[in-house]
Amino acid sequence: MFELIQKLFGKDSSSSKDIAKERLRLVLVHDRVNVSPQFMEVLKDDMIRVISNYMDINEKDMEVSLTNSKSSVALIANIPVNRMKRGMYNQD
Amino acid sequence: MGEVIVITSGKGGVGKTTTTANIGTGFALLGKKVVLVDADIGLRNLDVVMGLENRIVYDLVDVTDGNCRLKQALIRDKRYETLYLLPAAQTRDKNAVNPDQMKQLCQELAQDFDYVIIDCPAGIEQGFRNAIAGADRAIIVTTPEVSAVRDADRIIGLLESEGKHNPKLIVNRIRPLMVKKGDMMDIDDIIEILAVDLLGIIPEDEYIVISTNRGEPAVASPVSLASTAYKNIVGRLMGENIPLMTLETNDGFFERLKRVFRF
């Protein structure tokens, strides 16, 4: 009931414009570094291929994403390692 | 040498064609020699918005294919002495023309006209590349919606990568009451997100529907808000310093009366 009265007087607490702005901000971070979901998948596959030369990793729990901090974009990868590969470990 | 201006947006349905028709007619009303080029090959629209659909003989692809001379394809608008239209082909697709041909066409037109205004198709593929190829400057049309603003951002990036810098933005279909309630992004929000210069704002106006029904650009009518908004934009494009229109949110009976009688 209170909500209804608020709406009647145009005082909806979370204005939809702010939601729109925030969603746009986030979506543009990804757009502006030219990253599509497919791009991220390809990047992830390449990373797996390279890293697997050195260690066994848990591909299922691996997370790769782009994050935005103020004006810069960072690539964050969280890759659980199951085991180091001995051959590579002992190399000079 | 005239100036070649492309009207683009990325997203469809935000008002590119209406904007092209109104800006072009606005220039013509001031005595400038203008040609409107419909670059949306396969989805011809500018002709019906301008009310010139019954006068088409040749089209843009006929010109680039060499089936006719450029002058034969230009339709002169009988209402405005200095306004011409180069219609798009309806039975061909976007690959019927390439960017080099468009560049050449624009150069040729710019020799005879003060302004060459190109109506760009929606999307970012070949049709977009064709439309922007010969442009000296770009105008981006958007609406206060997440999808349209997102696409505008993408277009700004693509224009930049093609060497077309400093595009100007038109925010179309603003609804002052919704902005006031906080349910529509306002101009400052959009400018902050896109970081481009604002060329003008156009309020949502039913008169646009009426004028499009009739095939008479709204800018020629003295009574509509959108008409004033387009006139202001034309003035700014010609270097005049015109302040943004204030959008009244009071929609009472008296306000409507005032608008009708313009006092």
Q: For residues B164 and B156, what is the distance between their CA atoms, to the nearest angstrom?
A: 9
Show the tokens assigned to A89: 């470990």
Asked if B149 reaches chain A (Cβ–Cβ under 8 Å), the answer is: yes
**Residues 51-90, chain A: which have Cβ within 8 Å of B?**
none
Show the tokens assigned to A5: 């009265």
- DSSP code of B66? T
Q: Does residue B11 surpass a pLDDT of 60?
A: yes
Q: Note down the domain range covering B229.
A: 3-261
| Domain count of the fold of chain B | 1
Closest residue in A to B156 (Cα–Cα): A32
Closest residue in B to A16 (Cα–Cα): B183
Looking up residue B205, the CATH number of its domain turns out to be 3.40.50.300
Instruction: Collect all residues of chain B within an 8 Å Cβ-Cβ radius of residue A12.
Output: 181-183
- What is the largest distance, in Å, between two alpha-carbon atoms of chain B? 58
Closest residue in A to B190 (Cα–Cα): A21
| Pick from B27-36, B97-106, B245-254: least confident | B245-254
Mean pLDDT for A71-76 is 75
The answer to whether B23 and B29 have CB atoms below 8 angstroms apart is no
Q: Does residue B185 surpass a pLDDT of 80?
A: yes
The ipTM (two decimal places) reads: 0.79
Interval B41-71: pLDDT, tens = 999 999 999 999 999 999 999 999 999 999 9
pLDDT for res B258: 60
Asked if A25 reaches chain B (Cβ–Cβ under 8 Å), the answer is: yes
In angstroms, the Cα distances linking B153 to B28, B69, B131 are: 31, 38, 18
Looking at every residue in chain B, the average pLDDT score rounds to: 93
Q: Does residue B19 surpass a pLDDT of 90?
A: yes
Closest-CA distance of chain A to residue B56, Å = 41
Show the tokens assigned to B249: 């949110």
Q: For residues A57 and A79, what is the distance between their CA atoms, to the nearest angstrom?
A: 7
pLDDT band at B14 (very low <50, low <70, confident <90, very high): very high
Instruction: Collect all residues of chain A within an 8 Å Cβ-Cβ radius of residue B153.
Output: 28, 31-32
Beta-strand ranges (E) seen in chain B are: 3-8, 34-38, 75-76, 83-86, 115-119, 137-142, 168-174, 197-203
pLDDT band at B15 (very low <50, low <70, confident <90, very high): very high
Name which of B147, B149, B171, B183 to mutate to probe chain A: the one with the most chain A Cβ atoms within 10 A of its Cβ.
Answer: B183
Q: Does residue A14 surpass a pLDDT of 60?
A: yes
Asked if B156 reaches chain A (Cβ–Cβ under 8 Å), the answer is: no
pLDDT for res B251: 57
Asked if A26 reaches chain B (Cβ–Cβ under 8 Å), the answer is: no
Q: Which residue has the tokens 């040609």?
A: B35
Mean pLDDT for A42-49 is 92
Interval B225-250: pLDDT, tens = 999 999 999 999 999 999 998 887 66
